[in-house]
Amino acid sequence: MKNRFKPKFSIKKGDSVVVITGEYKDLKKPRTVLKVIPEKSRVLVEGVNIVTKHTKPTAQNTKGGIVKMEAPISISNVMLWDAKSHGPSKVSHSRVDGKSVRTAKKSGEVIK
């Protein structure tokens, strides 16, 4: 019963988003979504929530050491970037020519 309803989000991989809350908050700097994890309601955003990971030596990485990488943040902490109005915007869904499209509420422009 845990996976009865699959969550749906307006943010997809490759979208430009801004972080609206937290340590990396910046409403003027758009960043790219690298991965969406709908089961946990989290997104992986480029250059946000950098963590250090200690790795052991392996066959591929003979040295091992400390690696800096992005960690997922909550999807509620990001908003879609509206290129026309140069700011964050909410998303609405509508049908154009029989296809469902996402539009920015602030400017009314279709999001690709």
The verdict on residue 51 lying in a domain is: yes
pLDDT in the model for residue 112: 80
Instruction: Report the number of distinct structural domains present in the chain.
Output: 1
pLDDT in the model for residue 73: 96
The verdict on residue 95 lying in a domain is: no
The verdict on residue 109 lying in a domain is: no
The verdict on residue 10 lying in a domain is: no
Domain extent for 43? 16-55+63-84
Each of the 112 residues of the chain gets a pLDDT tens digit; together they read 466 788 889 999 999 999 999 999 999 999 999 999 999 999 999 999 999 999 999 998 888 899 999 999 999 999 999 999 999 999 999 998 999 999 999 999 998 8
The verdict on residue 1 lying in a domain is: no
The verdict on residue 48 lying in a domain is: yes
The verdict on residue 93 lying in a domain is: no
pLDDT in the model for residue 69: 94
CA distance 62 to 39: 34
The verdict on residue 80 lying in a domain is: yes
pLDDT in the model for residue 7: 83
pLDDT in the model for residue 66: 93
Check which CATH number belongs to the domain holding 51 and give it: 2.30.30.30
pLDDT in the model for residue 51: 96
pLDDT in the model for residue 2: 65
SS3 of the chain: CCCCCCCCCCCCCCCEEEECCCCCCEEEEEEEEEEEECCCCEEEECCCCEEEEEECCCCCCCCCEEEEEECCEEHHHEEEEECCCCEEECEEEEEECCEEEEEECCCCCEEC
